[in-house]
Every structure is written in structure tokens, then in C-alpha cells.
Structure 1
């Protein structure tokens, strides 16, 4: 239990969901954590809600950006302030299952892996299960991750003692993918997946995953701007992404009706 985990959460106008998110962290069976919430210029009641919880638990820390700078810069601020041996990520509308941290930290120590992630279930905007689970591969290499992001950010944990603090490029979307690519590049080892579902991902009707053109646009920017690929190489990997996403990765989304 001596290993400290830093949890990083960018928040922007999250008053509708953040209480559930906070409660899911407070309910963790693994209790040696600090939680860094970075408010990205919210105009609703998000900051007041977080402050109320801070008054009851000093492990929660709030940093406020002066304006809405985007999730990349907010996440970078959280990483910069992190003091833990491991760094985990949780968006302000997602939820962890109670034993999420305990199982992942134990797994990472046993398997001696630098990057770990797990399966997760999907919920709708009202928090209701939609009977779908995103399953994971047992391990993912840098080369495999380059074709599509197999690491759900709400389940990802990396060993900061070994890999250091990873700053993500300033992209409005998909910057988490670049973070995990950099983590695997630094590690030189595959990321390892836990097949058990350890979290709930909230699906929004207007989310990027539901907008195919936006998905292609931001994926291209990952290759071109984030990784510095040439136009031709970026287009090549965009084609590889399309195949991987629709013909390989899509098979990992399964129905939970029969569970």
C-alpha cells in the first residue's frame, strides 16, 4: 500500500456528472492516492462542487486555469503537479469500479509492466448501462497502438517512476492517444491489458466517437502534428487506422446481454 497513485482529471463544465466521478474515486479499495483536478475555465458549478469535497478530503487538489485552454493543457498541468509513483487518468464524466486501482497496481507489480489498461463498460448520458463492453487485448505494442488507440484513457495507468512525466501535444482531441504512444516508446515494452472491466465510460451523443468525419480529422492531426509525420505518411497511417478500427478493433466491442 506504500505506492502512491496520482489521479489526473481535466474538468470543464462538469457539474452534471462530476459528483458521481468523485464518489467513484472515494470508494476505491486502494486508498493511497492523490487526486489532481484541473478546472479548464468552467462557467458552471464545477469548481464549487470540487471545493466542497476538498473540504472533507485533503487528498483532492484543485488547480484552476484562467480560461478554457483545452484538455491537453489541463491534463499537462495535472501531470506536472503529480507526485505519485504511478499516474492514472479519469475524465470528469467517467466512473471507476471500486477495486479498479487495487487490481491494476497489483497487476503492474506482478507483471512488471510500465503501462496497464483494462476493459470497460459503456453507459449513456444518464448513467445507464447500454449493454456494451469494450474488451482489451492482453498486450499492445507501440506498432499496434500506432494503428489505433487500444488504451481507454479512463483505465490507463503508467509507472511515472520509470517513464517520468509525459507531456502531451496541444491537440483539442485524441491527445490521450499520443500520451500512451509516448509511454510505450519510452518503456520499450508492450502495454498489458486486464480483461476484467474496471470502469464505466460515458457515451455522449455528440462525442467524437459518434462523428466519423471529426474522428478522421483528429486522427490525421495525431499523425501529422502530434507525431510529425509527413502528409503522405500521415495519410498512409490514416488508411491503416480505418482498417484497424473498423475490421479489427470493432470486434472488441461486445454485448453484455448474456453476462
Structure 2
């Protein structure tokens, strides 16, 4: 069973060798590694080429112009040949048993995807490790969800952050091709992974869960672009919510349905706290109110569950339902003043 590992590359000469080496050290050997350089200005392309010359399983591609991670991944998907596809960032690593363990699951069960755990390592600008955390799953054992049951266990996927990223999974390429699932190239500053994951989740059949961590993700600079203001982020979050809402509509279990309002609130809170109230946001107060009004009025974010216990969350829902946008923005502004600027 051939597995395609797609690695977009951009200015990563310092870490690229270790990332590639982690693939070459896999215990399972039937893979291809697609290295796609997105017009790096450092020696990344030369490093990638040198590996491709040494190993026939490695194929090198060069974009004609800087196209971004979405277009680069899409090129990798179109050029890949594996029955399953996975993704590796150019500064991350895989454990040696990543392919052997997860291919075993794919062969053992007829599934369209395997989602697995990850190790997160936060590193500051000087290179010092700030913290290291591993995903922790409830009842840590391998599980399989059918094309029907996955919807009624959807909160399991959400609370374990299994759908936020694409690099914590192996995906059947025939599902991607049949449903024309690609990364949204209009998304420049985030949400592209989540949208891809939600589209695949909705389209696929059975999914296996392997709780063991195989992907080592380095978060190297906490003041990265993911924490900055950009109008494109708001548009991307809204589009991702619309895609995810197609999943919400298929949830029939009453206990699971109770979580849907929480998912909607999370989108709205993220847009307010990380974007509208970001210190670099250049929207006027009037523009912020109009945008928030538009979001609240969108059917995607219609709140349906009644709160029986008073809490800050129930207050927030009440204000949203009444469309008290001025009070909502004032409330969040006050909160940030007391708790500090979280988004640099």
C-alpha cells in the first residue's frame, strides 16, 4: 500500500533536513515523499533536491511563483500516486513507527481515514523549549466510527482537536478525488486545515482513531501570523463555519445536538476577541458593529438550545439573540483590559 507524504517547503533550511530524515527513517518503506518548494529565498530548494537525488521515493517540485501553502498542498495532492495521503510541515517531524502502525490499522479495517495523536512543542525565539504536551484521549484505545456513528460521536472529534489540522491524519485519495476536496486557496492566514478536515469528514465513510502520538509539531514563534489581525481570517472563519454546519445538520443524537450552540459560539467569540478587538484591527466601531450584526444574523449561527443555568455563556447567548452588539463589544473590551492582550 503506497502512502503519499506531501511536504510544502518555504524558507525552512534550518529544519528541513530533520523533517525529511524523519520520513526516511520510517519502519514502513512503501511511501513516496513529495517535496514542493514555494519559491524559497534560502537554500531550502537545494536541500530538497539533494535528498531527491539520493532516494527514488522522493520527488521534488518547484512552484513557478510563490503561491502559498494551500496551492502548494493542492499541487502535491494532484501529483501524488498513493492510495492514502498525509501531510508533513517542513519544520515538523514524524515518529519512526508512524507509517507502520497506521498502515496496519488501514489494512486491518476498511476505513477512509486514520486520525492520530500529536506532540506539541512550544519554542521561543531563542530556541528554548517552553513546554511539551501530548494529546490525551478519553479511554485511550483504538476506535472505529462508521459513516453513520461518526456524527453522533462528533463531540469526541471536537474535544480531542482531531479536525483542526490535517497533518494528524491519513486520508484515502479516492474520497478526495470523488468529492473534489482541496485546500481553499482564498484562505491566506488560517482555517484552511479545518475546512479541508470538515469536508473530508462529511464525505468519507469509516474513520479509525489511533490515540498514540506520531506527529511532532513545533510551534516556534508565539507571535506568528496566526495571532495577528487580518480581514481574511474573519472571512475564512465564516466560510469554515458554513462548511462545518453541514455536519451539524446530520447530528441526530440529542446529547450531541446540545454541543452545536457551543461550536457556533466559539466561532463568534474567536472573531470578536482575536480579530475585532485586536489592537491592529483597522475597522471603525461602526464597521465592527455592522460586521458583528451580519454574523449574528447569519443562519449558520442561529442558536437553538435554551440555557437553564445562568452563566457568562448564557449571558452571551442572550445578548446574541437580542442582537445587542454594542453591549457585546463593550463586554469583551472590558474583559481584555482586565485579562491582558492575549493575541499579539
**Superposition TM-score tier, normalisation by shorter sequence:** 0.7 to 0.9
- What CA deviation, in whole Å up to 9, does each residue of 1:74-129 have, x standing for no partner? 00000000101110111111100000011111112223221111111122344858
Q: Of residues 33, 46, 59 in structure 2, which corresponds to 1:61?
A: 59
**Range 9-18 or range 126-135, more displaced:** 126-135
Q: What does 1:1-259 align with in structure 2 at a 5 Å threshold?
A: 3-125=1-123, 126=127, 128=129, 130-136=131-137, 138=143, 141=150, 144=155, 149-151=161-163, 152-164=165-177, 166-170=181-185, 171-172=187-188, 173-189=190-206, 191-204=207-220, 205-207=222-224, 211=227, 217=234, 218-223=236-241, 227=243, 238-241=264-267
Q: Are 2:114 and 2:210, in contact at CA under 8 Å, matched by a contact in 1?
A: yes
Question: TM-score, normalising length from structure 1?
Answer: 0.78
Q: Which runs of 5+ in 2 are unaligned?
A: 246-260, 271-344
Give the CA deviation at 1:10.
1.1
Q: Are 1:21 and 1:96, in contact at CA under 8 Å, matched by a contact in 2?
A: yes
Question: TM-score, normalising length from structure 2?
Answer: 0.60
Counterparts of 1:237 and 1:148, CA distance in 2: 14
Counterparts of 2:129 and 2:23, CA distance in 1: 19
Larger RCO (alpha carbons 8 Å, 6+ apart): 1
What secondary structure does 2:213 align onto?
A: strand
Counterparts of 1:206 and 1:139, CA distance in 2: 37
Counterparts of 2:158 and 2:90, CA distance in 1: 26
Counterparts of 2:91 and 2:34, CA distance in 1: 15
Q: Are 1:79 and 1:166, in contact at CA under 8 Å, matched by a contact in 2?
A: no
**Range 168-177 or range 14-23, more displaced:** 168-177
The number of residue pairs the alignment matches comes to 234
What secondary structure does 1:206 align onto?
A: coil
Aligned CA-pair RMSD: 3.2
Q: Are 1:124 and 1:203, in contact at CA under 8 Å, matched by a contact in 2?
A: yes
What secondary structure does 1:199 align onto?
A: strand
What secondary structure does 1:154 align onto?
A: coil
CA 1:213/1:148 → structure 2, altered by over 3 Å: closer, same or farther?
farther
What secondary structure does 2:14 align onto?
A: coil
Structure ranking higher in strand proportion: 1
Counterparts of 1:193 and 1:200, CA distance in 2: 17
Q: Are 1:114 and 1:163, in contact at CA under 8 Å, matched by a contact in 2?
A: no
Give the CA deviation at 1:21.
0.3
- What CA deviation, in whole Å up to 9, does each residue of 1:147-189 have, x standing for no partner? 9952442221011245536312111222122222122222144
Counterparts of 1:160 and 1:36, CA distance in 2: 15
Counterparts of 1:50 and 1:237, CA distance in 2: 40
